[in-house]
Amino acid sequence: MVIKGVSHIAIGVRDMEKSLRFYRDLLGLQVVRDEIQETRGTVLPALYKDPHERRRAVTLYWKRGKEEAFLVLSEHTDKPVSGEAIKLDQIGIHHFAFWVQDLPKVYEELQAKGAEFVVPPTVTKTPDGTFNSAFLRDPDGILVQLDELVE
């Protein structure tokens, strides 16, 4: 088997409107689908910690195209969900990253729009190259990293 790339990233959210303000309005991802999905009577209950009747699922693209990765936000509207975003020293997916161009400019623009960064742009040298990276949190506390390869 050969992995060709990432298909999508799915994130459970508490408040879809707050999350859309972050991912759509602040980061600029484009909503391509917004739907209510019934979960009862599907394979989905096997993937849940607690039973749910339905969820709102919103699909967002940063670049739409064949085999391009995308983001799915899901909010369970029938009853409250449990859990908290994890930290870097805990088991599970603790963050994901987007490539950006001109991170210092992106940083200034996002700060002007009210984004609160956990780590401002910081240059780090690794065996794979030199990167400028910054971290912020989404409305549920999930770390989102913005990366730029420094030439």
Residues 100 and 107 sit within 8 Å (Cβ to Cβ) = no
Of the chain, the end-to-end C-alpha distance in Å amounts to 33
Can you tell me the distance from the alpha carbon of 126 to that of 147, in angstroms, rounded to the nearest whole number?
13
φ/ψ of 33, rounded to 5, equals: -155, 140
Task: List all residues 6 or more positions away from 27 whose beta carbon is below 8 Å from its beta carbon.
Answer: 62, 98, 110, 144
The two structure tokens encoding residue 1: 């088997």
What pLDDT, on a 0 to 100 scale, did the predictor assign at position 138? 95
Q: Same domain for 68 and 108?
A: no
Residues of the chain predicted below pLDDT 70? 42-45
What pLDDT, on a 0 to 100 scale, did the predictor assign at position 87? 87
pTM of the model: 0.88
Look at residues 75, 106, 133 and tell me which one is the last residue of a structural domain: 75
Q: Same domain for 29 and 69?
A: yes
Q: Same domain for 34 and 63?
A: yes
